[in-house]
């Protein structure tokens, strides 16, 4: 848990969280041409937010809104609560599938270890040594580096790499239309479900990406040590979708449609889990290392700021997504691990019988 001390607790909250494209967003993370990200609110939203439908029999319509990119429009206009049934079903299905897949993944890993101990495949070890020699010194160094990582770091680096790939894709002009459609969640979009997941890997600002990955790296080792890598990944992916749904719900209820992207909702779940599980752990701010405070206090302050952001309608961050992710992390720490993850034996028994029930 020593890595937790490097977390940029309160200061990072105002830089790494999901941010917005909006005319009121004046952060230091973007050039003047672009405003900051996780709500990607457009300047045209004040005209297309909830228009009056004359001569339209009150049927909702979708208007095209402007984006910071040339010749790219986003779906806008009013969205009713009935439009959230599909995202709700996707959230339940995706979260359930994530934890079921994680349980099966953990079973397969344990099975593979058991087979290796029983059979002790000397030939496999010889072949592995041969392949290392074939690739040379570079391969040996990479294997040595990877084997020296903690379980948390082995989960973090693939996640970070996926975020970097999406960040690079944002830089390709030909792909920006696709990125806006599939890697930004928007309750008014014709594509509702998959962007709830894909947007959690999406960052347009380099500073936004760096801050989120820094916080995830700081907390991933502690969370994986407490949860296991399989359960951690399920928590992270599920929290990303749950936080997106929380954002959808808030935007629909408050009549404030807009785009969202960023890993902050999922990271907030990890942060909330660690702070709830280890409330007495001392955290510090990166620029003020001499100032420390308990993790339990830190998560209360962060959630308090997000609650204030919702009540006061702050436009800088997607506070609803933050609160949704944090609430899920706390709920999983208090109840989910005990009443869901620890009750996975029937699923594992079914999977064991399905694949033959033997070690072979």
According to DSSP, residue 86 is labeled: H
Out of 13, 208, 217, 322, the active site residue is 322
Out of 264, 284, 319, 352, the active site residue is 264
- Please report which helix (H) or strand (E) contains residue 278, including its range: none
Question: Can you tell me the distance from the alpha carbon of 196 to that of 319, in angstroms, rounded to the nearest whole number?
Answer: 16
- Please report which helix (H) or strand (E) contains residue 64, including its range: strand 63-66
CB 269 within 8 A of CB 122: no
Based on the residue annotation, tell me whether 264 is a catalytic residue of this protein. yes
Based on the residue annotation, tell me whether 322 is a catalytic residue of this protein. yes
Q: Which tokens go with 360? A: 């072979």
Virtual torsion, Cα 159, 157, 102, 227, nearest 10 deg? -110
**3-class secondary structure, 319:** helix
* Gyration radius (Cα) of the chain, Å: 22
According to DSSP, residue 332 is labeled: I
CB 332 within 8 A of CB 274: no
Residues marked as catalytic = 264, 322
């Amino acid at each position: 848990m020593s890595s937790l001390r490097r977390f940029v607790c309160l200061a990072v909250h105002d830089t790494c969280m999901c941010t917005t494209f909006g005319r009121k967003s004046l952060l230091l993370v973007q050039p003047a041409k672009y405003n900051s990200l996780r709500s990607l609110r457009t300047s045209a939203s004040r005209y297309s937010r909830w228009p009056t439908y004359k001569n339209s029999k009150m049927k909702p319509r979708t208007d095209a809104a402007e984006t910071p990119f040339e010749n790219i429009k986003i779906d806008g206009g009013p969205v009713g609560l009935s439009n959230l049934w599909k995202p709700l079903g996707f959230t339940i299905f995706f979260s359930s599938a994530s934890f079921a897949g994680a349980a099966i993944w953990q079973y397969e890993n344990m099975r593979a270890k058991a087979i290796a101990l029983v059979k002790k495949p000397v030939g496999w070890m010889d072949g592995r040594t041969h392949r290392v020699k074939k690739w040379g010194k570079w391969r040996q160094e990479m294997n040595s580096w990877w084997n020296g990582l903690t379980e948390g770091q082995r989960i973090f680096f693939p996640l970070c790499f996926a975020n970097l790939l999406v960040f690079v894709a944002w830089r390709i002009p030909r792909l920006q239309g696709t990125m806006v459609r599939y890697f930004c969640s928007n309750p008014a979009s014709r594509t509702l479900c998959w962007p709830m997941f894909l947007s959690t890997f999406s960052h347009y600002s380099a500073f936004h990406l760096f801050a989120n990955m820094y916080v995830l790296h700081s907390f991933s080792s502690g969370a994986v040590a407490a949860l296991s890598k399989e359960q951690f990944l399920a928590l992270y992916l599920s929290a990303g979708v749950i936080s997106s749904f929380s954002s959808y719900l808030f935007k629909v209820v408050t009549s404030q449609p807009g785009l969202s992207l960023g890993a902050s909702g999922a990271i907030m779940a990890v942060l909330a889990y660690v702070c709830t599980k280890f409330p007495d752990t001392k955290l510090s701010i990166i620029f003020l290392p001499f100032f420390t405070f308990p993790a339990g206090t830190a998560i209360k302050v962060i959630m308090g700021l997000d609650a204030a952001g919702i009540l006061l309608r702050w436009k800088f961050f997607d506070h609803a997504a933050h609160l949704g992710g944090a609430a899920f992390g706390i709920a999983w720490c208090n109840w989910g691990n005990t009443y869901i993850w620890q009750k996975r034996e029937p699923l594992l028994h079914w999977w064991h019988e399905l694949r033959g029930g033997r070690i072979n």
